[in-house]
Amino acid sequence: MVEVFKRNSGLQHDNADDSPYQQQFKNALQANALPKIRNWVTKHNMDLPTCSVSSWQNWAMHAEKVVSEKKKQPPTDTYAEDDIFYAGPVSRGRGRMRGIFRGRGGFRGRGQKQVRGGDDGRDDACWACGQHGHWARNCPNGYPSQP
């Protein structure tokens, strides 16, 4: 890459670290590095705009080691068997999830009890006749919407 850059850059070759030739060469190396290495060096090297080519090469080699080590480690976002059904905290404020769990305006829905105290909120009675032992779709008294 050094020879290609010498021929095609149009800059006077200069070995000084702060010369335009060296800085442009470093920028070309940075721009053509693998995306993971380029992103890591950009994020972690605060002196990137003014560092030398040799300093950039050291950063790039270190980034390559870090990126390859991350590939060997198992992903950190895996869940234990007990955590599969966890949905995260319930939003109680004005966020985008507002009302998704509670409903709005105090409406409880047809046939649902309001949960208070020790009551678990379950109502196993038929919605059509109110008797226990069957549901509305199997109601012997006839469900109102059935023909």
Do you know the residue count of the chain? 147
Domain count across the chain? 1
Nearest in space to 91 (alpha carbons), one of 102, 104, 82, 83: 102
Residue 65 lies in a domain: yes
> Distance between CA atoms of 125 and 110, rounded to whole angstroms?
12
Residue 106 lies in a domain: no
Contact 121, 114 (CB under 8 A): yes
Q: Which residue in the block uniquely carries the two structure tokens 């991350």?
A: 70
Q: What is the pLDDT of residue 117?
A: 46
Per-residue pLDDT 10s for the chain (147 aa) are 777 877 788 888 888 888 888 888 889 889 989 999 999 999 999 988 889 999 999 999 999 999 888 777 766 655 555 555 555 565 555 555 555 555 555 555 555 555 444 445 556 788 888 888 888 888 888 766 545
Residue 45 lies in a domain: yes
Q: What is the pLDDT of residue 118?
A: 47
> Distance between CA atoms of 13 and 17, rounded to whole angstroms?
11
Q: What is the pLDDT of residue 127?
A: 81
Residue 113 lies in a domain: no
> Distance between CA atoms of 3 and 9, rounded to whole angstroms?
10
Residue 57 lies in a domain: yes
Domain with 58, as residue range(s), is 2-72
Q: What is the pLDDT of residue 59?
A: 92
Residue 118 lies in a domain: no
Sign of CA dihedral 87, 89, 93, 95: negative
